[in-house]
Amino acid sequence: MAGRIVRTIAVAACALLVLTTSPAAQPDAGSGMMQLNVKNVSVQEVLKLIAESGDFNLAIGGGVKGQVTLFVDEMAPRDLLDVVVGIIDAAYIEENGVIWVMSKENYESIYGQKFVDNLVTRTFTLKQAKVKEIMPTLKSLLGDKAVITPDLAGNMIRVKTSPKLMKEVAQVLAAIDKPTLTRAYQLQSMPAEMAAGLLGKMLSEQATIIEDPINQRLVINSSEFELDQVGDILGMLDVGGGITSTVLTVGYAQADTLANALRLHLTPDVGQIYSDSRSRKIVVVDYPQVVDIITHLAAEFDVPLRQVLIEAKIIQVATSKEVATGIDWAVLQDQMNLTGTFPALATTSPGFRGDFGDLASKNYQIVVEALETYGDTKLLSSPRLMVVDGGSGLIHVGSQVPYKTIDTRETAAGTINQFETVVIIDVGVKLEVEVNIQGDDMIAMKVRPEVSAVVGESDGIPIVDASTVDSSLLIQNGNTVILGGLIKDETRTMREGVPILSSIPIIKYLFSHIVEKDMQGELVILLTPRIMTGREAHEQKYEF
């Protein structure tokens, strides 16, 4: 009996997971190949095994869930990580020596951009240059177009970017990773001390700059790649002939974008402009009066983006079936301090219409008291959302409904692989908002409310009933807009009986009974947008 139990456990374990690491992983941790065969295994367990085999630190966010089925032979742990993240439709990023795996929604919320997974990864081993010394130059050249991970111990750089940009990265590293050279530069009009100070902010730590103020020369030791850059920069700045230069420090804008906007105001064939995204500096060379104008323009352009704080209150009003058309806002207009009209929208589904209006008063209690004349009123949520000018945001009050799908893929060798994926559907109340600030006191909003619920399923896939409407509004800063008419039928179990006696404990059962009553639930959404300006003006700093 004991022997049969042992054999059963062993067979089950083998069926669940087979994991081996090739001997090639021994001399260089993280570079070995993996064989991974799993079926219906928690994605957290699979990621843990990959991290252990690849010898790297891994953190998994709470939104990463599901089960994975994989049959993989001879694949690098980092590549296998990409496969698993793709299967569960998640995202990841490497920071401070830790790979963070999270949902795509969390990634976009934290980093302000969508996760792009059609990237390639390549590791470069440097022979001459030091990784620590060239990292500032490499980040300045690539900006946010690539994820660069240094390995100081192995003097290696791991780059993740698009295939097209990867070729450029290889060319740049080939140019940098060469023995250092020494060159002398004769200056025409720019003081040697000024030129050395400017170049010191742009070159890598491996560069050595020697000033010769008597002979107006600079002697620089660095890679051939950086020395060529020095020649281009000095050729642009050291022009003489009454020309002056200044260095602007960019506070809020992107240095490259701001430089392109300012370039239009330079003197043709004379003025030059150079931007460095790493140090957030812009160098302007032109006649003194033009430099003054560009400095003023830069201060006007380099201001913080305005934002809109949206305060929302989502209220549910339970009305009887007799109120078939929902709340009549035209009638309530006399009871509240409302401006605007309340046209009925075209019916998009049975029992659905929409009404809109501005509420000048900040007192929400006025609205609540008026709504209580139609039925029981309940505040579901009071979310707050900050949206940058020209951006969009989403408020969701409800739940997430998961279901599984199976993805079948055939490899070049003819092997059929099946991947099980968990798909999440948001149901409840969703409110998508786009904002654009117009002038100093008006806000243009595109609003799309949606009320949804799962009403059944087909082949294991939930059937969702949803009501939506799109609307464009123009609201004064600080005013409140009311969205109503999102009506849903529902059946409620209620207790009815003799007043007072039916509410006394124990004896209430003698004077009351349970009934099922057809009700209508109408959602009322109150939105109050407020313009948040931050700093009213940015004092542009500059140095000579």
**What is the secondary structure of 520-536 as a DSSP string?**
EEEEEEEEEEEEE--SS
Predicted confidence band at 4 (pLDDT cuts at 50, 70, 90)?
A: very low
- Class of 34-111 per CATH? alpha beta
The percentage of the chain sitting over the pLDDT mark of 90, rounded to a whole number, equals 2
Determine the pLDDT at residue 518: 65
Q: pLDDT digits over 396-416, tens only?
A: 888 888 888 887 777 777 777
CATH number of 181-238: 3.30.1370.120
* Token duo for residue 428: 């409840």
Closest C-alpha among 88, 95, 99 to residue 59: 99
Same fold, 34-111 and 120-176: no
Fold of 120-176: Ribosomal Protein S8; Chain: A, domain 1 (3.30.1370)
Q: Which residues contact 86 (CB under 8 A, 6 or more apart)?
A: 117
| Integer Cα distance of 460 and 427 in angstroms | 17
| Integer Cα distance of 484 and 527 in angstroms | 11
Predicted confidence band at 436 (pLDDT cuts at 50, 70, 90)?
A: very high
CA atoms within 13 A on the CB side of 230: 30
Determine the pLDDT at residue 452: 84
Determine the pLDDT at residue 532: 84
Q: pLDDT averaged over the chain?
A: 75
Q: Starting at the edge strand that comes first in sequence, how are the strands of the sheet with 67-75 ordered?
A: 17-21, 34-42, 67-75
Chain center to CA of 469: 26
Predicted confidence band at 356 (pLDDT cuts at 50, 70, 90)?
A: very low
Indicate the domain borders of the chain: 34-111, 120-176, 181-238, 244-302, 377-397+426-541
Q: pLDDT digits over 134-156, tens only?
A: 787 777 667 667 778 888 888 88
Helices (H), 224-271: 224-237, 255-263
Predicted confidence band at 327 (pLDDT cuts at 50, 70, 90)?
A: low
Partners of 465 in beta bridges: 453
Length of the chain: 544
Range with the poorest average pLDDT among 77-91, 195-209, 482-496: 482-496
Pairing of strands 98-103, 57-60: parallel
Determine the pLDDT at residue 114: 76
* Token duo for residue 79: 């590549």
Closest C-alpha among 301, 305, 307 to residue 477: 307
Determine the pLDDT at residue 354: 36
Determine the pLDDT at residue 435: 92
Kindly tell me if the per-residue pLDDT of 301 is higher than 80.
yes
Q: Which residue has the higher pLDDT, 297 or 316?
A: 297
- Class of 244-302 per CATH? alpha beta
Determine the pLDDT at residue 357: 46
Does the model's pTM come out above 0.85? Answer: no
Q: Which residues contact 166 (CB under 8 A, 6 or more apart)?
A: 120, 122, 159
Q: 131 — phi, psi (to 5°)?
A: -55, -45
Kindly tell me if the per-residue pLDDT of 353 is higher than 80.
no
| Integer Cα distance of 377 and 526 in angstroms | 14
The percentage of the chain sitting over the pLDDT mark of 70, rounded to a whole number, equals 75
Task: Tell me the three state secondary structure of residue 344.
Answer: coil
Kindly tell me if the per-residue pLDDT of 336 is higher than 60.
no
Determine the pLDDT at residue 127: 83
Determine the pLDDT at residue 119: 67
| Integer Cα distance of 520 and 451 in angstroms | 13
Determine the pLDDT at residue 512: 74
Predicted confidence band at 267 (pLDDT cuts at 50, 70, 90)?
A: confident
Chain center to CA of 128: 37
**What is the secondary structure of 79-146 as a DSSP string?**
HHHHHHHHHTTEEEEEETTEEEEEEHHHHHHHHSS------EEEEEE-SSS-HHHHHHHHHHHHGGGS
Question: Which range, 24-33, 257-266, 401-410, 471-480, is most confident?
Answer: 257-266
Kindly tell me if the per-residue pLDDT of 541 is higher than 50.
no
* Token duo for residue 58: 């891994």
Determine the pLDDT at residue 534: 59
Range with the poorest average pLDDT among 320-324, 346-350, 430-434, 486-490: 346-350
- The mean pLDDT of 256-261, rounded to a whole number, is 90
Residue written as token pair 């806000």:
443
- Give the angle 483-426-493 at the CA atoms, nearest 5°: 70
What's the Rg (C-alpha) of the chain? 32
**Cβ count near 205 (within 10 Å):** 12
Q: Which amino acid is at 193?
A: E
DSSP-assigned letter for residue 30 = T
Q: Which residue has the higher pLDDT, 127 or 319?
A: 127
Kindly tell me if the per-residue pLDDT of 445 is higher than 60.
yes
Kindly tell me if the per-residue pLDDT of 325 is higher than 70.
no
Chain center to CA of 104: 8
Determine the pLDDT at residue 135: 80
- The mean pLDDT of 249-267, rounded to a whole number, is 88
Q: How far are the Cα atoms of 7, 18, 38 from residue 15, in angstroms, in the given order?
A: 12, 8, 8
Q: pLDDT digits over 40-56, tens only?
A: 888 889 998 888 888 88
Q: Which residues contact 37 (CB under 8 A, 6 or more apart)?
A: 17, 18, 19, 70, 71, 72
Q: Which residue has the higher pLDDT, 23 or 96?
A: 96
Buried b (16+ CB within 10 A) or exposed e, 103-129: bbebbeeeeeeebeeebebeebebeeb
**What is the secondary structure of 150-219 as a DSSP string?**
EETTTTEEEEEE-HHHHHHHHHHHHHHSS--EEEEEE-SSS-HHHHHHHHHHHS-TT-EEEEETTTTEEE
Q: pLDDT digits over 192-229, tens only?
A: 887 888 788 777 777 889 888 888 888 898 888 888 88
